[in-house]
Amino acid sequence: MEHELLQLTSQISPLDLGWLARAQERLDSLTKPQGSLGRLEELAARYVAIREEIFPRFERKRVVVFAADHGVVAEGVSAYPQEVTFQMVHNFLNGGAAINVLARLVGAGVEVVDVGVNHEFEPGMKLVSRKVAYGTRNMAKEPAMTREEALRAVWVGVERAQEAVEDGVDVLAPGDMGIGNTTAAAALTTVFTGRPAGAVTGRGTGVDDQTLSHKVAVINRAIALHKVTGDDPLGALAAVGGLEIAAITGFILAAAAARRPVVLDGFIAAAGALVAVRLVPAVADYLVAGHRSVEPGHQIILDHLGLKPLFNLQMRLGEGTGAVLAMNLLEAGVRIYREMATFAEAGVAEKKG
């Protein structure tokens, strides 16, 4: 499976600066002072360069929520019990979660994928069942996954992105659900950015000070136990990551290979992006940071990847909520680029000199 992953990643190339220049030339010809629409222009130019089309379409949006459980919950790092993961999957499928509400608002489809929930779901549900394992193992005592399991979870994400592209989806966002996943994300952030666990670890579901200190200690113990380094991204992902984070990594890689932008949500999605960019640095060109999470590790990842979030609403829910809100900003930029009149078309005088 590593060979197939290598074949996929070989298809990812950095953005062509020529396409960025062509997009900017059109943006500069529109009936406005140059640069006056700020980051909307930046988003439009990036979208054109990603798609490599002078008038790319922007019609279909999709968020794919990857759900999985984490064995490290046994260490007492979360304020919520593990069964919340499968209960929230039911909520997603019934359309009652925040991601469902916000996706309906922006016209995005929602797909829910079981990549590692510690629960048997009833047949016939509108759930994409791709279970690799019934959750990870406790990283504080043994590797969270085998390398094979991590690769299989990555490939779940690859296939979901590829199917979305085949369905005609233009912009993608990975979402997440998994009690305990901020512990895994913080561990990966420490490994790949070199920042101490205490600086990247937040309260997740809302733990108190004592539990937060314990959470940091658990992360440090796991990293030391497995001698994790950033030199082997898949090895690090297997040792201290999560099945849904692995799937997000594959989802991002496949989207970039298919020349589709990926709008990132918060800390968990960013951790998956961190692994993807370590595997293929050019992946960073295809990422749009939707928002800035309250989790401290999220800003550290964004700085490490050179990404600037579009907004900060003090959100920390996950599920893809910040990403779908940001999709409207990306679409606004593309609509400006496509639909706004040029000075010549409108018969408006341009700036003197």
Nearest to 181 by CA among 101, 292, 270, 253: 270
List the catalytic residue out of 319, 339, 345, 350: 319
Name the H helices within 30-119: 38-51, 84-93, 98-106
Structure tokens at 314: 């003090």
Name the DSSP letter for residue 286.
Answer: G
Nearest to 220 by CA among 190, 264, 185, 257: 190
Q: How far apart are CA 4 and CA 244, in angstroms?
A: 20
The residues that bridge with 342 in the sheet, in sequence order, are 30
Sign, CA torsion 220/226/229/230: negative
CA dist 239 → 95, 194, 230, 347 (Å): 34, 16, 11, 62
Q: Is 319 a catalytic residue?
A: yes
Torsion angle in degrees (nearest 10) through CA of 37, 304, 235, 269: -40
Nearest to 293 by CA among 274, 275, 271, 278: 271
Per-residue HEC secondary structure of 176-234 comes to EECCCHHHHHHHHHHHHHCCCHHHHCCCCCCCCHHHHHHHHHHHHHHHHHHCCCCCCHH
Kindly list the catalytic residues. 319
